[in-house]
Amino acid sequence: MASVLTANDEQHILDECQEVIEYRFKAPELLRAALTHTSSANTRGASNERLEFLGDSVLGLVVCEQLFCRFPDYQEGEMTKIKSAVVSRTACAQFSSQIGLGDFLFLGRNLKWGAELPSNMQADVFESLVAGIYLDGGIEAAKTFLLRFITPEIDRVVRDAANNNYKSLLQQVAQREWGGTPRYLLLDEQGPDHARVFKVTVEIESYRYPAAWGPNKKIAESKAAQNALAEIQGEPIPFPCD
C-alpha cells in the first residue's frame, strides 16, 4: 500500500487482512508491525524485519513437530530434507501468495503498489505474520494458522519423494541386472487441459514394461516404475491400465 493512508484506511486494511488470515488479533499493533515493510517504517526497528526472524523459527518448530509426530519411522536425515523444502523461502512466498498477503503490506512511496510483489517480500511478510500471531496468541494460534499451509505442502513433498524413490530403485535394479538405464516414454495423453492424464511406460534394454496412467507425467512415471519393479519381482502389476 504505497500511498498516504488515513487512520480509517489503515483500520480497514487490518480488518480485511484478519478476515483473510482467519485470525483476530488481541493486539492489532502486532499485525500492523508484521505488515510494515522497511520502506514505510520510520526506523528499521519499526519494520517487520525482527518479526521475520522470529517467525522463521516458529515455522520451523511447527513443521518439525508435525514431521516428528506424523512419521515415526523417519530418521533425522529424512525429516530434515522434508523440513528444508516446507520452510524454504519459495514455499513461504507461495503460502503468502495463496491468501494475497502482499496486498496488505504497507510500503514506502518509492515502491509501486499494484505490480507483482517480489517473492522475497512475499516470504518476509508471511514469516512476520507468523511471528505476530505467535506473540499475540501463543504457539497454538500460530500452529492453527500454519497447518492450513504446511499440511498439504508436507503431503506434497513426501509424495514427490516417494515417487522419486521408486524411479531411483528401478534405476538401481536396471543397472545391477542389465547394466542399463530406464527410459520413460510418453505413450498417450487424454482429457481437457484442466484434467489431463498421461500414459507412460518404462523401457529397459529394448523391453517395455506395463504402462500406467497418471494425472501428471511425474506420477505416471512413478507408477510405471512400480509396474516394472512388480513384473521384475514376479508380483501382480499394481497399476494395470488396459
- For the chain, the domains span 7-159, 182-232
CA 129 to chain centre: 17
Q: Which of 56, 124, 136, 153 is flagged as catalytic?
A: 56
The CATH number of 182-232, from 3.30.160.20, 1.10.150.120, 3.30.70.520, 3.40.50.11540, is 3.30.160.20
CA 61/CA 41 separation, integer angstroms: 29
Q: Give the DSSP H or E segment for 207.
A: strand 207-208
Nearest CA among 217, 183, 221, 188 for reference residue 203: 183
Name residue, grid cell 482467519.
Answer: 22
Q: What is the pLDDT of residues 134-147, one digit of tens each?
A: 999 999 999 999 99
Task: Return the pLDDT at 2.
Answer: 45
Q: What is the pLDDT of residues 53-65, one digit of tens each?
A: 999 999 999 999 9
Average pLDDT over all residues of the chain: 90
Q: What is the pLDDT of residues 80-108, one digit of tens each?
A: 989 999 999 999 999 999 999 999 998 87
**Tell me: domain 7-159, CATH 1.10.1520.10, correct?**
yes
- Residue 209, by phi and psi: left (phi above 0), alpha (psi -120 to 50) or beta? beta
CA 188/CA 12 separation, integer angstroms: 52
Q: What is the pLDDT of residues 109-122, one digit of tens each?
A: 665 545 578 899 99
In the residue annotation, 127 being an active-site residue is answered as yes
**Side chain identity at residue 231, one-letter code:** E
CA 172 to chain centre: 29
Q: Which of 127, 136, 153, 221 is flagged as catalytic?
A: 127
CA 97/CA 122 separation, integer angstroms: 7
In the residue annotation, 65 being an active-site residue is answered as no
Q: Is the pTM of this model over 0.95?
A: no
